[in-house]
Amino acid sequence: LMIRRPPRATPLYSSAASDVYKRQPMKLYFDVRDIFRAPRLALSGKKIWIFLVANVIGYVCYFVLNYIALALSGVSFGQTWSAQGLYPCLYPVGGPWYAWLIFWGGVLDWFFAIHLACTAVSRVTYKQLKGDEFYSSSDAWKYVKKHWHPVIFTSVSMVLILFFFIAMAAIFAMFGMIPYLGDFLFVLPYIFYLFGAIFTVYTAVVFLISFIYTPAIVGTIEEDTMGAVFNSYSITWSQPWRIIIYHAILLPISIFSLAVFKFATFSGMKLLDAVFGNEMLMGQKLANIMGTAGQTVWPEDLFSSVVNNWYNLNDFYSYYTPPVPSSLSGTECVGAYIVGIFLFLITLTFLSYFLSILSVGETLMFTIFRNNSDEDNILERKDEEELEAEEGTDNDEDFSFEKELTVESESPDLNANDETLESG
């Protein structure tokens, strides 16, 4: 009997090579005009969700470690909550060195969470620019899990380079303390010391640039730590004016886009208050819930002390946040806590959208830089996921072909057996 494998069904969507070649990259100008795409591309549920998850994780670490640091400084939990609430900070209080160590640990945790989220959003943006709209946030986090080392250790490498030059300068300065001979050890190689000092200053600038572009470098061209360091030096040297001009455009449009996003959100909240807060409906009950939740998430005393010098918050609180009632019922108290959680997540969403605009903008900038400096259109490259998909497809086809040949060669010929029976 002939044993044949049934034909394999073709999936509706596949990341195989045949599908990859059908995708069309987004048409870019590869100049400053592409920067204006950042707010629109950043207004994506996937990108905002990636940053929201990172901000929640980073905030929880920051919150817990700051309360521990304040407790070690002699401030109880109740005193911290009444004074600073959801936004604890050790700076107004101060404390011993180990409390400051815990405080900066919380800050770094939040910073690295955002840095990894920038890499994930950069990867999603890169795939979107290549025409792949189906690249999910889970795919992006899998990529970050595989490539998180250069995102973290690029900054560490830059710090070590700076430390090396400063340590060498200190060693040569010690040679200058030698009587008589030390004077000549300073003046004769002075020009080399000067070049080393200039390169150290340049490395400090590159260190700042690496903070900005490392997620885009890792998320697009899949560089390792050394490649990210090299690209940071290359960008700083070859694209200084573009870096300044592009950020002079990106930052204002990011702030303006965030203001529009916040206005739309607060307008929706005001519409809910106008409908549900009608005297014939919830009335004062809604004012009690929203007032308590709003003053907990956006404490007027704390925010006014921080930003009242340049922005008046009185209009905001009088329009969006009702006054806190003197007493709440049990159900109103539970409702206020639940609404407060949603308001806090909305607040983190504002930050997430702003970071999404910046991350998309940096990815667009790096794409422009590579095309203009190296004539390398990275959107036409095959990334590692596409290559793995091609290899998987080729291996699967080879396996099925060899399997079919093996099965056919081992199966008996039914026609030959029939002829044998007839002759017999």
Q: Each residue of 124-168: pLDDT tens digit?
A: 999 999 999 999 999 999 999 999 999 999 989 999 999 998 998
Is 45 in a helix, a strand, or coil? helix
Task: Count CA within 13 A, CB hemisphere, residue 186.
Answer: 14
Query: Whole-angstrom Cα distance, residue 381 to residue 118?
Result: 21
The DSSP element (H or E) to which 409 belongs, if any, is: helix 384-410
Residue segments in the chain with a per-residue pLDDT below the cut of 70:
1-22, 302-320, 322-326, 393-424
User: CB of 228 within 8 A of CB of 218?
Assistant: yes
What are the tokens at 89? 């900070």
pLDDT the model gives residue 229: 93
Judged by phi (left if over 0) then psi (alpha if -120 to 50, else beta), residue 43 lies in: beta
pLDDT the model gives residue 184: 80
Closest to 56 (Cα-Cα) out of 343, 348, 338, 296: 348
Lookup result for tokens 């189906």: 134
- What angle is formed at CA 133 by the lines to CA 131 and CA 370, rounded to 5 degrees? 45
pLDDT the model gives residue 382: 86
pLDDT the model gives residue 16: 42
User: CB of 204 within 8 A of CB of 159?
Assistant: no
- What angle is formed at CA 67 by the lines to CA 63 and CA 68, rounded to 5 degrees? 115
pLDDT digits (tens, 9 = 90+) for 98-124: 999 999 999 999 999 999 999 999 999
pLDDT the model gives residue 288: 82
Query: Whole-angstrom Cα distance, residue 109 to residue 65?
Result: 10
Q: What's the distance, CA 178 to chain centroid?
A: 51
pLDDT the model gives residue 126: 96
pLDDT the model gives residue 37: 95
pLDDT the model gives residue 180: 78
Query: Whole-angstrom Cα distance, residue 53 to residue 20?
Result: 29
pLDDT the model gives residue 193: 87
